[in-house]
Amino acid sequence: MSYDLPGDASRALLQRGLPHLRNGIHYTRASQKSASKGYVPPAQFIVGRAEGDYVWDLDGNQYIDFQNGWATNPLGNCHPEILEAVHEAQRQYGFQWEHPLRIPLAERLASIMPSGSLPRFSFEVSGTEAAESAIHLALCHTQRRYIVSFTSCFHGEGLGTKMVSAYNSDNNLYMEGWAGGVLKAPFPYSEEIPAGMDQAQYTEYCLWYIETHLTEYVVPAENIAAILVEPGLAEGGNWIPSKAFMQGLRRICDKFDWLLIADEVLTGLGRTGTMWAVEHFDVVPDILVAGKNLSGGIEPCAGVAARDEILGDNPRATAGSTFAGTPGGCAAALKTLEIYERDAVLTHTQHLAGVAMQRMSDWESRYEIVSQVRGLGLLLGVSFRAGREDIEDFHIARSVRDEMLKRGLWAICDNEPQVRMYPALNMAEDVLLEGLSRMEEAIEAVQRSGGVTIGDYPPMPSGNVGF
Ligand SMILES: Cc1ncc(COP(=O)(O)O)c(C=O)c1O
């Protein structure tokens, strides 16, 4: 077994994809850019097999899976009961739109929505479509034109969701004209807090920006339809908002008669230890967007839940698509929710979350390169810093993630100075602890090397699958 990544089989397949897959060139450039700065290009592999808490790459190397199909496999990889439920639905209905599983699933979802106040559900295939559908729903229901969304947020890669997302300043390039209905507000939790402000002051400022600045100087309040927020900034770095912020948003929405849309595509269905992240903040949204975990990690299923009057009688807000709520997707969701209840999965998740935070509790004080450890349930993030001018913080995070891979542990480091971890909600406790031990070893290795891990890897094939 060799963790010199990518291994031969992954490398050969990555090479084959270069001329054909999107971003082959982009990824080559990203690798060259890393190399030109003296950094190792991101390590890669292709999954050859996935089961439970583990994945194996094409070369047979085993990894503990904190990546979790981009936080999409709530009960681990290839859960056999969910697989069987999906196969059964597919054997029985193949693909028919008018199959009988959508209604029991909508009923079940209504019963688990926050405070039972979002009884209707509109099916979509992906989180992207569901977020776009929620926006459209809000515009049509309020008959207004503007949506407030946040910096650093991510809602998908469709045209509409690209416009409300604000990953970085390149995010809306060439689409500026299309994003006319979006008002971007600062999200108070990130690497950057303005100098001289503490977290509480900045949170207050961000609420003031929406309540006063936007409404008095940018767009009249009566033209704004909704605030769209992730109640746990996921792709933006697993940042966790405070109760004061989330309740502040609810108060502003109530004051101006705006809708509050919670995008729970990643935070929902147990990721944060409660069924929905909004429950941590005692906030009930008017519209809730769900996806990812609803698939049970097997078959796509997503959609939008809303208050009765928003989704019950809103003829202009058309939605859905051919594959919205497929038989397999609905069967996966129903079985997933059945297992959550039968096995008290969220109780286990809360226990694991406590174990993880306890295990990581001294990392900030022990390691200079660790600037913050944070978690809400199993939405876990660690921010890194270089502490020196010649190395970007992002490089430290990426190096730690690569050292983790070398030790058989997979987690996410995209373009930000963070490593994000999404263990399965039912992960075995000893596997979680083993993963965190490997992560700590990786942190120690990067800290020892002063953040310079150049030359540890063979040259990259400049593949096209980044993570
Ligand atoms: C909060 C949030 N919304 C929407 C999406 C888009 O979901 P999908 O990738 O299923 O289209 C994501 C994906 O990561 C997400 O994290």
Q: For ligand 1, what atom is nearest to the CA of residue 266?
A: 16
Task: Round to whole Å and give the CA distance between 309 and 75.
Answer: 34
Assess whether pLDDT exceeds 50 at residue 462: no
Q: How confident is the model at residue 26 (pLDDT cuts 50, 70, 90)?
A: low
Classify the C-alpha dihedral 459-462-463-467 as positive or negative.
Answer: positive
Classify the C-alpha dihedral 205-206-207-209 as positive or negative.
Answer: positive
Q: 68 CA distance to ligand 1 centroid (A)?
A: 14
Q: How confident is the model at residue 58 (pLDDT cuts 50, 70, 90)?
A: very high
Assess whether pLDDT exceeds 50 at residue 21: yes
Sheet strand arrangement including 370-376: 370-376, 379-384, 418-421
Task: Round to whole Å and give the CA distance between 262 and 280.
Answer: 13
Query: Topology of 8-66+345-448 in CATH?
Result: Aspartate Aminotransferase, domain 1 (3.90.1150)
Instruction: Return the percentage of the chain with pLDDT > 90, whole number.
Output: 77
pLDDT at residue 25, as a whole number: 62
Contacts of 158 (CB under 8 A, 6+ apart): 128, 129, 131, 132
Over the stretch 272-313, which tens digit does the pLDDT of each residue have? 999 999 999 999 999 999 999 999 999 999 999 999 999 998
Instruction: Return the percentage of the chain with pLDDT > 70, whole number.
Output: 93
Which two tokens mark 337? 């929710």
Q: For ligand 1, what atom is nearest to the CA of residue 289?
A: 3
Alpha helix positions (H), 96-232: 102-112, 127-142, 159-164, 199-208
Assess whether pLDDT exceeds 80 at residue 123: yes
Over the stretch 431-446, which tens digit does the pLDDT of each residue have? 999 999 999 999 999 9
Q: For ligand 1, what atom is nearest to the CA of residue 71?
A: 14
Which of 28-32, 224-228, 334-338, 389-393 has the least mean pLDDT? 28-32
pLDDT at residue 30, as a whole number: 65
165: Cβ below 6 Å to ligand 1?
no
126: Cβ below 6 Å to ligand 1?
yes
Q: How confident is the model at residue 126 (pLDDT cuts 50, 70, 90)?
A: very high
Q: Which amino acid is at 437?
A: S
SS3 category, 147: strand
Give the DSSP per-residue string, 208-259.
Answer: HIIIIIIIIIIS-GGGEEEEEE-SSBTTTT-B---HHHHHHHHHHHHHHT-E
265: Cβ below 6 Å to ligand 1?
yes
Q: Structural domain boundaries of the chain?
A: 8-66+345-448, 80-342
263: Cβ below 6 Å to ligand 1?
yes
pLDDT at residue 454, as a whole number: 47
pLDDT at residue 322, as a whole number: 96
Query: Topology of 80-342 in CATH?
Result: Aspartate Aminotransferase; domain 2 (3.40.640)
Contacts of 458 (CB under 8 A, 6+ apart): 4
154: Cβ below 6 Å to ligand 1?
yes
Task: Give me the residues paired with residue 57 across strands.
Answer: 47
Q: How confident is the model at residue 414 (pLDDT cuts 50, 70, 90)?
A: confident
**What Rg do the C-alpha atoms of the chain give, in angstroms?**
22
